[in-house]
Structure 1
């Protein structure tokens, strides 16, 4: 596959910028030093979101222990926008009567507030986009106290389709993200910049150059095992593009929305942790079962995702439906996920030598929070259907 002219230019510029005195790449701006953790309204509430819903989710984030486990962003997705005033300033619609007051409330809970827009004239849901009003919108967000912006390509697609060449279309896309990056930075307020453009033109190669702190690598997730697995396991090979301040984003979590089994949700959560993916819950935090809370707040699993080394894991081997993924951790240990993509239980063997270890290893089962002591290869394991054996392994 050949690189587009736009993508090649971005890659070359990214390489050159590191040698320019005073240039600070995304990972040095202090934002998203670790994968962002929080909640987003879209997966569960879609259009049915309002001020009361956001306040209730913020309160539940605290009362359920989610905040203390590391989840801090409460992100409003599409459909909050109203019209613009006579000066072109965006106004929230009647569902959000006072966005500044809402931000103040969220902040009072020790949390941060995120918002959503599009570089097009409209958003995915056909609400007001930011095209032609980037600086105004950025200043409005800063005045409200916004901490995170999800910027969704949807509304720009028609303009891109009308472009005479794919290269021109990609330039339109890249330029639109640069424009909002500059607008956000001009406000002086630290706002995490989330690029939502579905992996177009291999965004992982140029997302940092346009200021992205995270970028979507795929289309939308949904609450079905097949889609979650397609997206999650499809991240193989992308680990070298992620790091502190700039993360690959395989989309939000579906844990607790009811479309998968507990085993499937544990696989989902473990895979996202190995991927150093943003952990943005997408369920109703006010109605969580103890099982859902346990999955989302497992400290050992979260520690893998949030590890200080900031390295994304990758696939080591695949044998039929069994995939083994590892992630190097700051203390020299490794997270090891033995994933079973088959609906029935499967037995396999783990050869720790192939994972970079020599001789016996020490292991902890992260879902059981159980030390397994010293184990030797080959280590025979049975993994439940659509399940995972998730270990932290050290020499």
Structure 2
């Protein structure tokens, strides 16, 4: 079969070599360094430590609370817009103490960042005594935090800031897992006890990392759910931020975690590079993370946001243009804006990016929507984010290696009318247009306009559906647009016969709708047909990665017989959740 002019799939680079994590003493004074800290989860470290963590995920909590219950919808009243703040890890890793945290808090206040919304100060890994006390309570590290964590929280609160802390659902933190810090002080079996301790210390934000290569997504839902319930039981409003991807060989199945957490990481750890060639492994560059995070826009809402990881603005490794794109894209994606640089020595250029009030306003818009993809030809990418006052923010993103014009229209981003005002988020300059929205954008650059005027509808979003088992994308056979044309899997590319737009629960491709006959049974081939609004053309994206039909909810999109070759047909089959029924938006 000839598949038109489909380009080859994007090559996947092998993982670059990584050094071992910085070793830290269990006690004694430390010397703070601005040397960039290695990311915590390269796979090759797994053979350098005590071996693969194996443990049985039990459902009983040590202090008498039995769990986990099935995941309950999370509505804890916090994170109605994406949290903003600073985290210790990207620059300092384990090399932290209370003096550093206080200095950084003062810098946030003095640099005007607090008043722009950067309020959460999150103390990441290595803040704790390697041993719990005789009653099993967590303790501050006696040399690093001699005043204790309650005193640190009080210091932050007195300056109008909020206190964040780090813990893990299993027995060891990531630094402990890799032997960079002693002890085994994870929350496993101590969830309710630790939650009560955090509340007593005045904690406002918990970062909770899955630091193990083991565990299914069901294990993770259960274990993360225990801490969700433990935090709720304290009665204190605490932002709950989880990461299901730490150390895993492959980023876990995509899932809407809003029933479990306020924030959920969508990829492996970020690094200060534009493109590492990774699609689902360590380390992830800015472009790589954008490719994963953009298709997940439908998960974001007030109280629950996709988390593409902390900001690398100010940490080197990229051009100023790339740093500006990084920040602009994170604001458009309704991402938490957690700075990760040394704010005591931040340059004027870095502060200008972090203090951009136009972009912060887009990120903090009360609708809490993540930008959806309007178009993407592989070089020119357009994202649109509807705002509470009827405006639409549009990002014109140049993914290519040379300057090019990126363009769209007011209609394409969800605006109706004949006259519109454009405000450039970077220059604050304004212009008017009858409908065309365009800019000359440098390589790896992003121009953001706030579009006002006319009416507003939801902008469409486009994506591909990639099979987890085959790594190939759902494809309309030979780009044929006739009713009844079947679907199959093929190497992922950017042509129209793989580009899907979602309207409600219908999936549109080549101007038709993804469809099964009304009498479909196991083995019926998925096809395209004129859109008619019937339920056999409506689909549900489920939390386990499957896509089920609304008319026949027991039938899921399925790669026939688990095949992996180009041309393998896509059918419906009784939903079982195996890899050949799991799909990700790409």
Whether the TM-score (by the shorter chain) exceeds 0.5 is yes
Give the aligned partner of residue 138 of structure 1: 195
Partners of 1:60 and 1:285 within 8 A in 2? yes
1:93-112 residue pairs with structure 2 within 5 A? 93=141, 94-97=143-146, 98-112=148-162
The alpha-carbon deviation at position 217 of structure 1 amounts to 0.8
Note if 1:202 corresponds to 2:202: no
Deviations 1:242-275 (A, max 9, x none): 1010111111110111111111111111111111
Give the aligned partner of residue 41 of structure 1: 88
Note if 1:76 corresponds to 2:139: no
SS at match of 1:265: helix
The alpha-carbon deviation at position 72 of structure 1 amounts to 0.5
Flag the 1:139–1:52 CA change in 2: closer, same or farther, 3 A.
same
Give the aligned partner of residue 211 of structure 2: 154
* Partner residue of 2:186 out of 100, 123, 129: 129
The alpha-carbon deviation at position 328 of structure 1 amounts to 0.3
Question: For structure 2, which runs of at least 5 residues remain unmatched after alignment?
Answer: 1-69, 177-182, 246-250, 276-284, 454-586
SS at match of 1:201: coil
Flag the 1:294–1:152 CA change in 2: closer, same or farther, 3 A.
same
Partners of 1:218 and 1:250 within 8 A in 2? yes
Which structure shows the bigger proportion of residues in helix conformation? 1
* Partner residue of 1:328 out of 383, 386, 398: 386
SS at match of 1:91: coil
SS at match of 1:280: strand
Question: For structure 1, which runs of at least 5 residues remain unmatched after alignment?
Answer: 1-12, 18-24, 161-168
The alpha-carbon deviation at position 351 of structure 1 amounts to 2.5
The alpha-carbon deviation at position 109 of structure 1 amounts to 0.8
Moved over 4 A (4+): none
The alpha-carbon deviation at position 321 of structure 1 amounts to 1.1
The alpha-carbon deviation at position 353 of structure 1 amounts to 2.5
Partners of 2:397 and 2:406 within 8 A in 1? no
Note if 1:361 corresponds to 2:431: no
Partners of 1:386 and 1:201 lie apart in 2 by: 28
Partners of 2:324 and 2:197 lie apart in 1 by: 39
SS at match of 2:412: helix
Partners of 2:162 and 2:438 lie apart in 1 by: 44
The alpha-carbon deviation at position 233 of structure 1 amounts to 3.1
Give the aligned partner of residue 193 of structure 1: 240
Note if 1:235 corresponds to 2:293: yes
SS at match of 2:406: strand
Partners of 1:270 and 1:390 within 8 A in 2? yes
Deviations 1:169-217 (A, max 9, x none): 333211111111111111111111001113623232xx1222x011011
Note if 1:66 corresponds to 2:113: yes
SS at match of 2:174: coil
1:158-173 residue pairs with structure 2 within 5 A? 158=214, 160=215, 169-173=216-220
Partners of 2:405 and 2:438 within 8 A in 1? yes
Partners of 1:50 and 1:177 lie apart in 2 by: 28
Flag the 1:107–1:338 CA change in 2: closer, same or farther, 3 A.
same
Greater Rg over alpha carbons, structure:
2
1:262-277 residue pairs with structure 2 within 5 A? 262-277=320-335
Give the aligned partner of residue 302 of structure 2: 244
Partners of 1:240 and 1:377 lie apart in 2 by: 26
Partners of 2:266 and 2:292 within 8 A in 1? no
SS at match of 1:234: helix
Partners of 1:49 and 1:369 lie apart in 2 by: 38
Give the aligned partner of residue 167 of structure 2: 117
Partners of 1:187 and 1:349 lie apart in 2 by: 50
1:294-373 residue pairs with structure 2 within 5 A? 294-357=352-415, 358-372=417-431
Deviations 1:61-102 (A, max 9, x none): 100011011000000111112110111111121211211111
Give the aligned partner of residue 394 of structure 1: 452
Partners of 2:293 and 2:258 lie apart in 1 by: 18
Flag the 1:319–1:280 CA change in 2: closer, same or farther, 3 A.
same
User: Structure 2-normalised TM-score?
Assistant: 0.60
Partners of 1:183 and 1:346 lie apart in 2 by: 51
Flag the 1:146–1:353 CA change in 2: closer, same or farther, 3 A.
same
Partners of 1:332 and 1:394 within 8 A in 2? yes
Deviations 1:136-160 (A, max 9, x none): 11111111111100010014x44x2
The alpha-carbon deviation at position 377 of structure 1 amounts to 4.0
The alpha-carbon deviation at position 379 of structure 1 amounts to 4.3
Q: CA RMSD in A?
A: 1.5
SS at match of 1:92: coil
Give the aligned partner of residue 20 of structure 2: none
Partners of 1:203 and 1:215 within 8 A in 2? no
Per chain length, whose mean CA-contact separation is higher, i.e. which structure has more relative contact order (CA < 8 Å, sep 6+)? Answer: 1
Partners of 1:353 and 1:359 within 8 A in 2? no
The alpha-carbon deviation at position 380 of structure 1 amounts to 4.3
Partners of 2:406 and 2:165 lie apart in 1 by: 45
